[in-house]
């Protein structure tokens, strides 16, 4: 799985760009999306009946601007609530390997653009060198804050293409046929066993009826230094609250005496995950044209606030969420668990360590950013 984002702002450009896997996503501007939002912080409200995406790059750029240029919490009187959330939400860069990201901030007249281009060429030679339009040289004393994130999480063993259409049921109860990948084959095989062995069930609750099961799955427990977790769980008020609930549920499951048995994906269990892929451009319009309230920076305003997120969830590396169902007593391992991410779920990408801070979270409510199933589809 590869993930990336690219963000630019007059005072805080941030970036995080995806490294492509197999499937090809179509470029899309967030303004054209009806069922998806991009949030600046994990404290922003999580709307009902919509996908919600957060990547750390915007926060990383804001942190760089606040620390290296402004020197104090950033004030934007007309949207102070958003500024306060960003000021409170400093992202710990220790949660990402140094080789995976780059941040910088400075004045254009002092060579920050050339510095960014030089460092990006050196650190990420396979990626395009970022370019900046003429406005960066038109305005006097322009400040640029920049952040870039490039993460690849490849599964040890590729999952199998799900042969057929997979129906994803959104929070309004409407189903959409999409492409998917799975952990099972038509019969017991050595390859199938290897694929199942890499998955780890971190949390499982059978629920009271079909459709109410909740669960969390690490799609490939061998990946280092990052892990991809999918969790089918209740809707929360914010993505931050969802991440905390996921951590608490995983911790609680580890204390279960049956956890060692339940965490394995047995042959009778089924695991199906929809493909999620997009190259998304988002403009933080709420910041554009807004002046800073900091005393020494009152003449400064944001003329660009842009974030691009390129994300792919596929059988070779990805995140998923589905429904599970079991017919057994809670005290015993269920005979079969259907871990189907066919209903709203959370995608979490983070460092594989205790109490890690995620650098990417997405609440998948609907199929707007999935690949529609078409007759003849053979997968990624």
**In this predicted structure, what is the pLDDT of residue 186?**
61
Domains and CATH numbers, the chain: 2-153+277-313 (no CATH), 160-275+315-364 (2.30.39.10)
Q: At what angle do helices 80-88 and 57-64 cross, to 10 degrees?
A: 90
Place of tokens 């303004």: 31
146-173 per-position pLDDT tens digit: 888 888 889 989 999 998 899 999 999 9
CB contact set of 68 (below 8 Å; sequence gap of 6+): 105, 106
Q: Report the alpha-carbon distance of residue 260 to residue 246 in Å, rounded.
A: 19
Phi, psi dihedrals of residue 277, rounded to the nearest 5°:
-155, 140
Range list of H helices, 199-350 = 239-254, 259-262
pTM: 0.87
Handedness of CA 220, 225, 230, 231 (dihedral sign): positive
- DSSP secondary structure of 97-122: -GGGEEEEEEEGGGTHHHHHHHHHHH
**In this predicted structure, what is the pLDDT of residue 221?**
93
pLDDT in tens, the chain (380 residues): 333 332 334 433 222 223 334 456 678 889 999 999 999 999 999 999 999 999 998 899 999 999 999 999 999 999 999 999 999 999 999 999 999 899 999 888 899 889 999 999 999 898 888 888 787 777 768 888 888 888 888 998 999 999 889 999 999 999 999 999 999 766 667 778 888 899 999 999 888 776 789 999 999 999 999 999 999 999 999 999 999 999 999 998 887 777 777 888 887 889 999 999 988 888 889 998 888 999 989 888 888 888 888 888 888 873 322 111 111 222 334 457 889 999 999 999 999 998 899 999 999 999 999 999 876 665 55
Q: Are strands 27-29 and 276-283 parallel, antiparallel or unpaired?
A: parallel
């Amino acid at each position: 799985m590869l993930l990336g984002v690219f963000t630019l702002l007059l005072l805080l450009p941030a970036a995080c760009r995806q490294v492509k896997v197999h499937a090809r996503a179509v470029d899309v501007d967030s303004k054209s999306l009806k069922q998806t939002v991009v949030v600046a912080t994990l404290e922003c409200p999580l709307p009902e009946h919509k996908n919600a995406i957060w990547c750390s790059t915007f926060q990383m750029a804001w942190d760089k601007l606040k620390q290296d240029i402004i020197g104090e919490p950033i004030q934007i009187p007309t949207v102070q609530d958003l500024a306060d959330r960003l000021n409170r939400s400093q992202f710990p860069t220790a949660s990402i390997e140094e080789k995976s990201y780059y941040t910088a901030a400075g004045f254009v007249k002092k060579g920050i653009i050339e510095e960014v281009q030089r460092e990006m060429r050196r650190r990420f030679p396979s990626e395009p060198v970022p370019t900046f339009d003429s406005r960066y040289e038109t305005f006097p004393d322009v400040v640029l804050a920049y952040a870039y994130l490039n993460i690849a999480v490849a599964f040890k063993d590729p999952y199998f293409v799900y042969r057929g259409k997979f129906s994803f049921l959104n929070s309004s109860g409407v189903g959409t046929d999409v492409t998917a990948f799975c952990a099972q084959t038509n019969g017991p095989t050595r390859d199938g066993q290897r694929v199942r062995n890499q998955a780890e069930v971190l949390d499982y609750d059978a629920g009271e009826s079909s459709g109410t099961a909740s669960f969390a799955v690490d799609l490939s427990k061998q990946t280092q230094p990052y892990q991809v977790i999918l969790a089918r769980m209740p809707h929360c008020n914010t993505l931050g609250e969802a991440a905390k609930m996921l951590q608490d549920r995983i911790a609680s499951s580890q204390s279960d005496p049956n956890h060692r048995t339940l965490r394995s994906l047995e042959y009778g269990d089924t695991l199906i995950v929809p493909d999620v892929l997009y190259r998304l451009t988002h403009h933080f319009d709420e910041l554009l044209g807004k002046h800073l309230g900091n005393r020494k920076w009152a003449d400064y305003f944001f003329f660009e606030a842009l974030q691009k997120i390129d994300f792919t969830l596929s059988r070779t590396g990805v995140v998923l969420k589905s429904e599970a169902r079991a017919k057994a007593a809670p005290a015993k391992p269920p005979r079969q668990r259907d871990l189907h991410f066919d209903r709203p779920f959370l995608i979490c990408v983070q460092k594989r360590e205790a109490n890690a801070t995620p650098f990417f979270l997405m609440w998948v409510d609907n199929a707007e950013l999935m690949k529609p199933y078409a007759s003849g589809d053979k997968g990624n």
